[in-house]
Structure 1
C-alpha cells in the first residue's frame, strides 16, 4: 500500500467525472414498483390473508418515493450542474 496519496493530497490521482443521471426515472420506477406491490398486498388483505405489515411497508415505500420525487424536482438543477462541471 502506498502512503504517498494519504500523506500528500497532491500525489493522488484525479477522481472520475460525475456521471449524468436522471434521478426522476429511478425514483418514479421505484415508487411504481411499491405501488404495484401495495395493490397486491391490499388484495391479499381483503382476501383474508394477514399481510397488514407488508401493506404498511409498501405504503411507507410509496410515501418515501413521493418525497424523493419532490426533492428531485427542486434539486434537479443542482445535481445536473455538478455532473456538467469540468474537472
Structure 2
C-alpha cells in the first residue's frame, strides 16, 4: 500500500505577504452605514414601529467607528514618521550623512 501525500501543517508559517489597505476608508464606510442605520431606526422608533435597544446600538457603532478611525489616523501618522526616520540619506549627493533641517528650525552650528 502506498502512503497518502503529506498535508501541510495548519500551524506552518504563512508564505503570503500582507495586503496593504487603507483602513480609514473601511472605517468611514462603516461609520456611514451605522449613520444610515441610526436614521432608519430613529424614524422607526419615532413612528412607534419599533422600540428597544436599536438606537443605543447604532450610537455605540458610531462611537466605536470614530474611535477606530482615530486609532488608524494615529497609527498611520506614527508609521510615516518611523519610515521617515529609518529612511537612509540615500538622496544626498554631497557625500554627507547629515539629515536635512526642517524648514523653520534653527541650525545648531
What is the count of residue pairs matched by the alignment? 74
Provide the alpha-carbon RMSD of the alignment: 2.7
How much does 1:40 deviate?
0.5
Runs of 4+ aligned residues of structure 1 deviating over 2 Å after TM superposition are 1-4, 12-15, 49-52
Contact 1:45–1:51, Cα closer than 8 Å, also in 2: yes
The higher radius of gyration belongs to 2
Aligned to 2:55: 55
Aligned to 1:26: 26
User: Comparing both structures, which one devotes a greater share of its residues to helix?
Assistant: 1
1:66 is the counterpart of 2:73: no
Which whole-Å deviations, capped at 9, do the CAs of 1:24-60 have from their partners, x for residues lacking one? 1100001100000000101111111333311111111
Which whole-Å deviations, capped at 9, do the CAs of 1:47-87 have from their partners, x for residues lacking one? 113333111111111110000000010001439x6xxxxxx
Gaps of 5+ in 1: 7-11, 82-87
SS of residue paired to 2:17 = coil
Question: TM-score scaled by structure 1?
Answer: 0.70
- Counterparts in 2 of 1:39 and 1:17: CA distance versus 1, 3 Å: same
Give, in whole Å, the separation in 2 of the partners of 1:3 and 1:37.
44
Question: TM-score scaled by structure 2?
Answer: 0.57
